[in-house]
Amino acid sequence: MATPCTLNRYLLLMAQEHLEFRMPEIKSLLSLFGGQFASTQETYGKSPFWILSIPSEDIARNLMKRTVCAKAIFELWGHGQSPEELYSSLKNYPVEKMVPFLHSNSTYKIKIHTFNKTLTQEEKIKRIDALEFLPFEGKVNLKKPQHVFSVLEDYGLDPNCIPENPHNIYFGRWIADGQRELIESYSVKKRHFIGNTSMDAGLSFIMANHGKVKENDIVFDPFVGTAVYL
C-alpha cells in the first residue's frame, strides 16, 4: 500500500441526487476501507466532479464496490481549466505511471464525458485526436479494451446558461463503477408489498454505508417500517 506521502489522486464522478448525503457516505466508506477524507480533498459543492487523494487503487476499488452516490472513479492523470492547461498537466504526469497501461501489447479506448452539454461526434473525435502526444503504443479496441481512458468536461450546473468552454477538463484512467444499478434492482416499484413507510432503495444503501455496515454485522433498526432486506 502507498504511504501517506505518496497518495494518488483520483477523480470521483458523483451522481446528482441526495447531494447532502454524498460527503458523509464517501467519508464513511473511505474510513471503512482504510482511507481518510482529508481536509485537502477537492470537492466542489454540488459539482459531480471531486478530486480525492487515496492511498491505493485497492481502496478506490473497494469504495466503488459499496457507494451508490458515485458513478465512477478514475486515476487522475491531468486536469485544467482549458485544453492547453490539461495538455500541460498531462505532459507533467510521470511517464512511468503511464507506461504500464500504454505498452504495445495492450488495448484501449478513449471516451468523452460531458456534464451539462452535449457534443457532436465530430467534436468528440477532435478532442480524442488532440491527445496524440500521449505515448499510446497499444491498439484501439472499442468493444473490449483492456484499459479505458476518459476526457471529462464540466460545463457547470445551470442548464439555462451553458458556457461555450468548460469550467474544468479532466483526463484519467477508468478504475471502477459504483453500485448505482442496485437502486433500480431494489426499486419500490418492484416490491410485492408497499406500505406507507416504504423507504427509497437508494437511501437504504446510503444509510448502510453511513453506518459502515459490513457482512455478518448485526444491525438494530427499531424503525424498519415495511423493511427492505439488503
**Per-residue pLDDT of the chain in tens (230 residues, 90 and over written 9):** 444 446 799 999 999 999 999 999 999 999 999 888 776 667 778 999 999 999 999 999 999 999 999 999 999 999 999 999 999 999 999 999 999 999 999 999 999 999 999 999 999 999 999 999 999 999 999 999 999 999 999 999 999 999 999 999 999 999 999 999 998 888 877 776 666 667 788 998 999 999 999 989 998 877 666 555 55
Q: Which structural domain, as residue segments, surrounds residue 54?
A: 8-178
Task: Note whether 19 and 107 are same-domain residues.
Answer: yes
Query: What is the enclosing helix (H) or strand (E) of 109?
Result: strand 107-115
Q: Are strands 139-140 and 107-115 parallel, antiparallel or unpaired?
A: parallel
Closest by CA to 221, choosing from 196, 202, 229, is 229
- Distance, in Å, from the CA atom of 145 to the CA atom of 126, rounded to the nearest integer, reads 21
Is residue 2 domain-resident?
A: no
Task: Note whether 194 and 95 are same-domain residues.
Answer: no
Task: Note whether 146 and 212 are same-domain residues.
Answer: no
- Distance, in Å, from the CA atom of 101 to the CA atom of 32, rounded to the nearest integer, reads 29
Task: Note whether 29 and 109 are same-domain residues.
Answer: yes
Q: Which of 137, 161, 178 is the last residue of a domain?
A: 178
> Grid coordinates standing for 104?
504495445
C-alpha angle 179-148-44 in degrees, rounded to nearest 5: 60
Task: Note whether 34 and 122 are same-domain residues.
Answer: yes
For cell 465530430, name the residue: 122
Report pLDDT digits (tens) over 30-54.
999 988 877 666 777 899 999 999 9
* 230 Cβ contact partners less than 8 Å away, ≥ 6 residues apart: 186, 204, 205, 208
Rg (CA), the chain: 19
Task: Note whether 50 and 71 are same-domain residues.
Answer: yes
Angle between helices 57-64 and 19-32 (to 10 degrees): 130
Helix ranges (H only) for 10-154 are: 19-32, 57-64, 83-91, 95-98, 121-129
pTM of the model: 0.89
Task: Note whether 187 and 205 are same-domain residues.
Answer: yes
- Distance, in Å, from the CA atom of 127 to the CA atom of 226, rounded to the nearest integer, reads 50
Is residue 93 domain-resident?
A: yes
State phi, psi for 11 to the nearest 5 degrees: -100, 125
Is residue 49 domain-resident?
A: yes
Domain count, the chain: 2
